[in-house]
Amino acid sequence: MSQPATERLALHHQLVRFVAAGIVSAVVDFGILWLLMRGGLGHTPAKAVSFVCGTTTAYLINRRWTFGAAGSARTFVGVLALYGSTFVVQVGLFAVLFPWLDQRWGYTPAQVVGFVIAQGVATTVNFIVQRTLIFRH
């Protein structure tokens, strides 16, 4: 059976806000990645630091604005577990993709494409888990 109209609207509303928050967080993440790599830090440690900054930004925006949730111990533990898993996936994907893409396309395209792929996978997982498990009403 199809979802009620109010639930579909809630999903659409949350998804739009999640994407907007994701854009802000991605700018923070990529900006820090770019600065750290240009400053000489290796691609994996730079991505690790940028991931933490970007996901902290995403959590702060999504908790209140996207999902309208109050903080709690359960929420905090859930977010830590999710972001820990996402950290491994996102940094791992970037660590594998960047050198491979760098050899084929060069430094900047490898940085951008590797970031977009790793971020896309993480964003999809984050939205599904946050909406269905962590911030469900």
Q: How many CA atoms lie within 13 A of 94 on its CB side?
A: 28
In this prediction, residue 7 carries a pLDDT of: 58
Q: What is the mean pLDDT of each run of 10 residues along the chain (137 residues)?
A: 58 91 95 97 96 90 86 83 92 96 97 96 90 82
Q: Which domain holds residue 51?
A: 5-134
Main-chain phi, psi angles of 2, to 5 degrees: -75, 160
| Confidence at residue 1, expressed as pLDDT on a 0 to 100 scale | 47
Q: Structurally, how many domains does the chain consist of?
A: 1
The pLDDT score that the predictor gives to residue 73 is 81
Cβ-contact 37, 95 below 8 angstroms: no
The per-residue pLDDT for 3 is: 55
Q: What share of the chain is helix, strand, coil (3-state, %, to 5)?
A: 85, 0, 15
The whole-number pLDDT of residue 136 equals 77
The pLDDT of residue 26 is 94
- Find out whether 21 and 66 touch, Cβ atoms under 8 Å: yes
In this predicted structure, what is the pLDDT of residue 46? 97
* pLDDT recorded at residue 57: 93
pLDDT value at residue 30: 96
The per-residue pLDDT for 59 is: 86
